[in-house]
Structure 1
Amino acid sequence: MQLTRVDDLTAEGEALASRYGGRVGLAAVLGDLDRRLRRTLAPCLSRHRAWTWDADDRWDPRWWPQGVSPAPEPGVLGVTWYATSGGSRLSVLDLRSRRYRHVTLVRPTREGYEPLRVHAGGLAWSGRRLYVAATRAGLWVGDTDDVLHTHDGYVLPVRHRIAADAGDGEPLRFSFVSVSPSDPARLVVGEYGNDRQTRRLAHLSPDGDAFELVDGGVVRAQGAVAVGDSYALSASHGQWTPGSLWTGRPGAFRERRWALPMGPEDLAVSADGRRLWTVTEHPRRRWIVSLPMPHGG
């Protein structure tokens, strides 16, 4: 399987930035957070910390939380959402002030920009780069310095896409993505699948020029992280049953039932490898959850 950088939108991004008077970057967003988080508890058996969104975002049936990743800046978290009508967005959360703001993810065009129509099932935040999982389309890559302030509010144009060419094999589905804390130059990606589908994991470089497949994913995996040679994966069991956390090494994962709330999505790990992060997707049952990284499989 080979990776290819495609859809280079550098020229369109430069034109878009000029149209709106230049880039404002992530700092402008962090200085203008307009929504409030609330501390809470989530229904799971793990020791955890949890937050939830404001009332509009907890109930909204149009937007669904999916990806999660800690930012390089302490106390800041990113969460991606997809819209049932098409489109995606990034929420920038400051956990210290318990405030956040939505930034629309867009694809720059010759005429301006259009919504980035992806499922955004995973997010990896590495330095200034954001990697957004786009299922069969691969990974869209953005740069937090590129944030613009437009008539629609804050938007983040993507720069390019990393796509997989499987040759004669089954193309990898980029269902989720995370940054490896033990090796920041490595991303972990994987496939959501039922018991009749492939459920592969893979490692790739941030530039997409190195790739390694790892067998052994679990059924209905929503996210995966790697710390050294150990993994943790989130798995869902529908909107009413709490989710599972699988840990260990490929081929020998151990399930921890009810370790996560119902509807868990992407999984991320802190830079020190000590804490996991996930978000849940269902309206009225939406939490941002942090729990200790299990040890010993």
Structure 2
Amino acid sequence: MDQLRDRIIKEFGPYGFKYFRETIWSSSLQQVDLPRVRSFLLKNNFNHIDVSLIIPQNEETCRMRWSTHYQQSGQCVSSMHKVPIPAGSNHLKLTFCYTTSDVRHNSQAQTVVVANALRLVFGVPIARELIITRYFSESTSASETFSDEGYASQFDNQELNMFDNPAIEQAELIEIPEDAAILLDKSFAQTFPSERFILMWLAFEAIIHSVIKEGSNGEKRKAFFEKILKSDIANKEVLRLFKLRCDIFKEGQVSGQNIENDCWSLYAAMQLLVMKDCEQRRAYLLGYESILKQQDIASK
């Protein structure tokens, strides 16, 4: 690995690239096809990316896996453990080159974009699973190694909704569309909150279409939150989330530090959306409005 790292620094350093992100993927790609992958990346303006194959000769190399579990008290705990990478296993290595550490930090989504471009053109097995991520620079003698980007999100730390007065178990739900349930299932499995938000929003839209049959998407959202729930506060928040959705979908912009909170707010809006008119929905709405009011005061 050190020899590969030194080669990349020597090759790209003279062109002003001093910071690097190395990603290693399980892959079925063969050595003979590497030139075709390189040609594809250049053809599509995926520049300054080194492509190679690596095959560990023993099981001394490990990846780090995060596991999240709950203690008897309900406390969420995230811990990391080593998992040996099988000897003789085939891996695609993509190394991204940057001029500054800030550019590298702000280009994290590039890894996902490039990997999925390869998957869509050459087939998913070309980059099946991200095994290891390494960061290194021209000035450091050692690299920082990561594997899973695991941590306990707000959904991991969420307290269970065991409410009384009104009793939560008496809540009445609409029939949740199957496609929305599948999207939600995938969203809660995501490591990155921006990916989680995108899938949650798609699930939200699938649900709103099943609740309100007529009108445009915006009219349906307004019909539910402003006219059915009669909540200007909730309607305003859903409009804000829609604008965030547009930033992500159309502009590729993500709100960064606040995206976890945005995911939670969208989750709360969906809780209201899937409940029929019942005491539990009214209690949830009061709680949601209260939190939004507090956030609005704190931001001023």
State the TM-score, normalized to the length of structure 2. Answer: 0.24
The structure carrying a bigger strand percent of its residues is 1
The structure carrying a bigger helix percent of its residues is 2
State the TM-score, normalized to the length of structure 1. Answer: 0.24
Which has more radius of gyration? 2
